[in-house]
Structure 1
């Protein structure tokens, strides 16, 4: 059974706290004024050794794969509005100095992850977060994942199998 002792004063797992801190850094690095679900997904992909990151990687969604999927989603969204693709260099932003706000999709994902954690007490926090992200029906992340041709349920099943108690990929919270 996965223990839940590795938590801070707010009840958040230390692993999840690190993912959130990296998500803020992802948003800042990209020059975004808001932290959204895609920043959480990018951060989660960098969680070396976690079942969630392993499942993403197996589906071709390592950090570079997620960035490529997000670029494809942006191009498809612009095309659907009749806007020609914009050169990546023109889209490059300077890293933000200030702290970005929390966007709707990120708040939704974190609330879903909290509910998921209460429901699945024996699973790693990273896998609960992945389940929450993959559970989104609307927004940039679901469109990007669909364009990448990734089966969300298969990714989550892979992550869940690796985070099951006693499996080689299982991690403590």
Structure 2
């Protein structure tokens, strides 16, 4: 298996595990972002960390986004004592959700050829979403998404791939 294929497999597998932990039946972009942030020593993980987005910080940003979104409709989870999300059983693995599919598609589309794909393309695809949970979470965390995108794109270009 080629390095990129192994990385992608890991991200998709870990993203599925993140979805399970959150009680989701689908793997969405936020689960993939958590998986990317958890891959110690990879270029995408290092880029996220340089913006203060290690795994715990990404998780906190996503939790803040959930709290914020719920508060916008007048719901306070702490007021209601909501139960923890139920986990998906192993026989019912989460399937790829729409935002997860779109993130992967955007990442793949950003490379001219499959052999040019690098792990940073996965992060690029996740970050290129203009709307949704990930952009809202990054905004709430005070991250300049445009600057982060530029850094990811630069890392791909610096790797010798336009």
- The normalised TM-score by structure 1 is 0.79
Q: Provide, for residues 27-65 of structure 1, a one-character-per-residue CA deviation record: whole Å limited to 9, x for no partner.
A: 112221111000000000012211111111111111111
Query: Is 2:90 the counterpart of 1:93?
Result: no
Say which SS state the counterpart of residue 138 (structure 2) adopts: helix
Distance 1:44 1:89, change over 3 A: farther
1:59 aligns with: 51
List aligned pairs for 1:1-173, cutoff 5 A: 6=2, 13-86=5-78, 90-97=82-89, 98-118=92-112, 125-163=118-156, 164-165=158-159
Deviation at 1:130, TM superposition (A): 1.0
CA RMSD between the two structures? 2.5
Tell me if structure 2 keeps the 8 A contact 1:55–1:156: no
Say which SS state the counterpart of residue 112 (structure 1) adopts: helix
Deviation at 1:151, TM superposition (A): 1.1
Find the aligned partners of 2:53 and 2:81 in 1 and give their Cα distance: 23
Find the aligned partners of 1:46 and 1:39 in 2 and give their Cα distance: 11
Say which SS state the counterpart of residue 105 (structure 1) adopts: helix
- The structure whose RCO (Cα within 8 Å, separation 6+) is larger is 1
More helix as a share of residues: 2
Tell me if structure 2 keeps the 8 A contact 1:44–1:53: yes
Find the aligned partners of 1:81 and 1:121 in 2 and give their Cα distance: 45
Q: Provide, for residues 137-160 of structure 1, a one-character-per-residue CA deviation record: whole Å limited to 9, x for no partner.
A: 111111001111101232233334
- The normalised TM-score by structure 2 is 0.84
Tell me if structure 2 keeps the 8 A contact 1:45–1:53: yes
Give aligned pairs, total.
157
Q: Which runs of 4+ in 1 moved over 6 A?
A: none
Deviation at 1:121, TM superposition (A): 6.6
